Amino acid sequence: MARSKIGLVGAGQIGGTLALLVGLKELGDVVLFDIVDGVPQGKSLDIAEASPIEGYDARLKGTSSYEDLSGCDVVIVTAGVPRKPGMSRDDLLGVNLKVMEQVGAGIAKYAPDAFVICITNPLDAMVWALRTASGLPTHKVVGMAGVLDSARFRYFLAEEFGVSVEDVTAFVLGGHGDTMVPLPRYSTVAGIPLPDLVKMGWTTQERLDQIIQRTRDGGAEIVGLLKTGSAFYAPAASGIAMAESYLRDKKRVLPCAAHLTGQYGVDGIYCGVPVVIGAGGVERVVEIELDRAEKAAFDRSVDAVKGLIEACKGIAPNLG
């Protein structure tokens, strides 16, 4: 069977890490695309030269030509600019919207059958813009945010409890960023929900609230430490988990920014919800019951996403 072909649009910090992970996991051949000539070519060659040491077989090609995306099974988009200290994700809107229009047109022309994962911020608005600009079916275009947000939550919880990250599951809903909604009652250690762990004396409600806030601020914490650029190792690992679920038809249940058509009372926008990703793309949206407080928090998050999409339509009316 021919190897899968994975297009990575944006060869910056996340794009380069994605290419390395595709190699290490032998997910397929890589086309690394960027508008800055030399960068995708240089990174591809560097990663290819690591393959004899790590023992992976993959062809890697760096390019500035959209034509090279022809026949891609998966395209992961990180093109755009990342945050600098003091910037919110939303500050990136105008610049990255134009990038999504270009990238969407390139995907429509050369890789219309691909499963497309958007990582560019502000995520929930950019995945909407990318889907609209590309015209691809909504179940084939999805945004990465929840996998990263829940990984951060899981890591902090595992640290707090002194248990393996493998045994901690976490559930987050809503938009990426400050309005993200972690759901403690659906987050567990080996199946034991967090509120029960508080009752068992494993932690206190106060500590749990601090961890939730740290999760919400997870991106800013890294931006503040790095001072230039934003997180890239964990975001790349998150994108790869989604790509792998599609390519290997694993049908993993992952929190992703998915196009909603009435689920959770939301219609026509992208928002973070648990979905099943398999060979059919987004095969199912998992809709759980929310209590009153959770629904209110989710609705606030949805309103923030709607505001960003309206701003996009103001800047680029053709996307409306």
Say if residue 152 carries a ligand binding annotation: yes
Q: What amino acid is encoded at 255 in this protein?
A: P
Say if residue 113 carries a ligand binding annotation: no
Q: Supply the minimum distance, in Å, between the C-beta of residue 143 and ligand A3D.
A: 7
Binding stretches for ligand A3D (CB under 6 A): 9-15, 34-36, 39, 78-83, 92, 96, 99, 102-103, 119-121, 123, 144-145, 148, 176, 229-232, 235
Say if residue 12 carries a ligand binding annotation: yes
CB 142 within 8 A of CB 242: yes
Which residue among the candidates 5, 43, 154, 176 is catalytic per the annotation? 176
Round to whole Å and give the CA distance between 32 and 12: 10
Q: Which residue is nearest to ligand A3D (CB)?
A: 12
Q: Is 176 an active-site residue?
A: yes
Q: 289-309 burial, b for 16+ CB within 10 Å, e for fewer?
A: ebeeebeebbbebbebbbebb
The neighbouring-strand residues paired with 254 are 275
**C-alpha distances in Å from residue 49, one per residue of 25, 46, 55, 59, 253:** 16, 5, 11, 11, 35
Say if residue 318 carries a ligand binding annotation: no
Cβ contacts of 256 within 8 Å, gap of 6 or more:
142, 143, 144, 145, 146, 147, 242, 272, 273, 274, 275, 277, 282
Say if residue 14 carries a ligand binding annotation: yes
Round to whole Å and give the CA distance between 312 and 263: 23
Helix, strand or coil for residue 264?
Answer: helix
Q: Considering beta carbons, is residue 136 or 197 the nearer one to ligand A3D?
A: 136
Q: Supply the minimum distance, in Å, between the C-beta of residue 283 and ligand A3D.
A: 22
CA-based torsion, 277, 288, 187, 306: positive or negative = positive
CB 211 within 8 A of CB 227: no
Tell me how crowded residue 233 is: count the other CB atoms within 10 A of its CB: 12
Q: Supply the minimum distance, in Å, between the C-beta of residue 79 and ligand A3D.
A: 3
Q: Considering beta carbons, is residue 40 or 281 the nearer one to ligand A3D?
A: 40
Q: Supply the minimum distance, in Å, between the C-beta of residue 33 and ligand A3D.
A: 6
Q: Supply the minimum distance, in Å, between the C-beta of residue 287 and ligand A3D.
A: 23
Binding site per annotation, positions for NAD(+): 10-15, 34, 96, 119-121
List, as residue ranges, the binding site: 10-15, 34, 83, 89, 96, 119-121, 152
Q: Enumerate the known binding-site residues for substrate.
A: 83, 89, 121, 152
Which residues are marked as active site? 176
